[in-house]
Structure 1
Amino acid sequence: MTTLSLVGIGSGNPDHLTRQALKTLEAADVILLPRKGGEKTELADLRRMIAAELLTTAPKIVEFDYPLRDADTPKYLDGVNTWHDALAAIWQDLITTHVPQGGHVALMVWGDPSLYDSTLRIADRLIARGIPLTVNVVPGITSLQMLTAAHAIPLNTLGDPVQITTGRKLREDGWPEGISTVAVMLDGNCSFQHLVPEDLHIWWGGYVGMDQQILIEGPLAEVCAKIIKARADARASIGWIMDIYLLRKST
């Protein structure tokens, strides 16, 4: 039996690793380290630094290249499922190659493995393929937590629910009925610009928790263009961007 530990490492600041995360990584026989292309070398470099400088043990480090998702697939979920199948095949090959008799494999996951991340779904695919696997999840600080902390705001208003969604769903479905606060993740298109901005306030953050952190907040009608420009400038300068935002209706 192989243990696969999915370890949340937060959103870019090594100080945000929990003691549980460090202990789990130190106990691993093998740490799988994904590479996501030249423009995101900083993400792989952070994982390498954690393994080389923060751990008191020396697990074997196995790097692998992330397959690209085909963005041209007509149906979004079909493209995502094909991508997940490809990742599952890579993980299966790495696990059977490096711990053929079973052992402890760890994977560092940006943010938290259970919040808008697909590592758990990929692990389920391995189990469905007959790989004898026990999955262990170590929670990490999420970008949503970092966003609200950076802006010093509560996630919710008193007595009201919060909806967490994606930019794609916000564009397709509009503002959710009966909800005053919406947190938006995985939005590469600044979907807030398609909303009627009156009575909406936005708290936006790019690279939250990292040295490059950028924060903008204010009435959507006033800061919409500013956020779009800041995001485009940062992406052009750094080569990639990870951002998240919270929208709230005035009451």
Structure 2
Amino acid sequence: MRTVLVIGIGAGDPEHLTLQAVTALGRADVVFVIDKGLDSGGQDDLLALRTEILRRHRPDGGYRLVTAPEVGRDRGPVVERDDETYREVVVDWQDRRARLYREMLDAELADGETGAFLVWGDPSLYDGTLRLLDEVLDGAPGQWRFESIAGISSVAALAAAHRLILNRVGRPVLITTGRRVAEGLPDDVDDVVVMLDGRTAFATIPPERRTELSIYWGAYLGTPDELLVAGPLDEVADEIVRVRAEARERKGWIMDTYLLRRRDGER
């Protein structure tokens, strides 16, 4: 029997690890890391954070670190693609990532050992690791144990940074992607958390609708480089676009999340 742990490591602060995550990390004989540096240039910071987490929480060094470069992904103009084409691109990338996981596990994890994948934020929120590993391990019942350890998501980190309560009394909260926001905000939801927005979809909202909304934006949440901007969307949209572009140019990458909230006197 081999065990695979998927451990949420938070949005960027080594102290985001829960006590449960630290305990799980202490069980790992092998830690698997996908290094995105070769694929996206400036993401050495992300590998460095994982290294810092291991230094703090596994000072014994009693594990093997196994890294592999990220499989290539078509990063063309996904906003302009239709749903079917976009899904085909994502499925193709996921299939190749799943094969990489299988190769790593077969080559590096022996019977009786425990392996760990360190996943940004929470494994259950906009991350494909659980789904891909489920497919990889499904063909060998009785040979694998598979566990998920919750983490602090960028959504939780954003709310904490802005001192927000995401829900308002009797109202739903929608978590969606920038691609969906670019297609139009739903009329029946007052609070929309947006993730995976590579093209500042909030800036495409028509001016007459911007006056109805406030935005709470954050980038590099939980890190020393954390950036926060909040205010009426019609007043701060251009500022966020500028700050975001400057930060991405400076670091070579950016991770950001934001809440769009209809303005009705409540927060």
> Shorter-chain TM-score: what band?
over 0.9
Residue in structure 2 matched with residue 93 of structure 1 by the alignment: 103
SS at match of 1:245: strand
- TM-score for both structures, normalised by structure 2: 0.90
* Contact kept in structure 1, 2:31 and 2:64, CA below 8 Å: yes
Q: State how far apart, in whole Å, the 2-side matches of 1:178 and 1:233 are.
A: 34
Gap regions ≥5 residues in structure 2: none
Report the more deviating stretch, 51-60 or 125-134: 125-134
* Contact kept in structure 2, 1:27 and 1:104, CA below 8 Å: yes
Q: Write the mapping of 1:1-251 to structure 2, written as runs, cut at 5 A.
A: 1-37=1-37, 38-57=41-60, 58-72=62-76, 75-130=85-140, 132-172=143-183, 174-195=184-205, 196-251=209-264
Letter of the 1:12 partner, please give it: G
Identity of aligned residues (%): 40
SS at match of 1:144: helix
State the 4+ residue runs in structure 1 displaced beyond 6 angstroms: none
* Contact kept in structure 2, 1:162 and 1:180, CA below 8 Å: yes
Q: State how far apart, in whole Å, the 2-side matches of 1:99 and 1:240 are.
A: 32
Per the TM alignment, residue 102 of structure 1 is displaced from its structure 2 partner at its CA by 4.6
Gap regions ≥5 residues in structure 1: none
Report the more deviating stretch, 125-134 or 214-223: 125-134
Q: State how far apart, in whole Å, the 1-side matches of 2:130 and 2:144 are.
A: 12
Per the TM alignment, residue 135 of structure 1 is displaced from its structure 2 partner at its CA by 1.7
* Contact kept in structure 1, 2:174 and 2:192, CA below 8 Å: yes
Report the more deviating stretch, 225-234 or 41-50: 41-50
- Residue-pair matches, total: 250
Q: State how far apart, in whole Å, the 2-side matches of 1:13 and 1:188 are.
A: 22
Q: State how far apart, in whole Å, the 1-side matches of 2:144 and 2:260 are.
A: 40
Q: State how far apart, in whole Å, the 2-side matches of 1:136 and 1:154 are.
A: 30
Report the more deviating stretch, 236-245 or 49-58: 49-58
Aligned-pair Cα RMSD in Å: 1.5
* Contact kept in structure 1, 2:11 and 2:120, CA below 8 Å: yes
* Contact kept in structure 1, 2:25 and 2:57, CA below 8 Å: no
- TM-score for both structures, normalised by structure 1: 0.95
Q: State how far apart, in whole Å, the 1-side matches of 2:102 and 2:254 are.
A: 30
Per the TM alignment, residue 130 of structure 1 is displaced from its structure 2 partner at its CA by 3.9
Per the TM alignment, residue 250 of structure 1 is displaced from its structure 2 partner at its CA by 1.7
Q: Deviations over 1:115-137 (max 9, x none)?
A: 11111111122034447432201
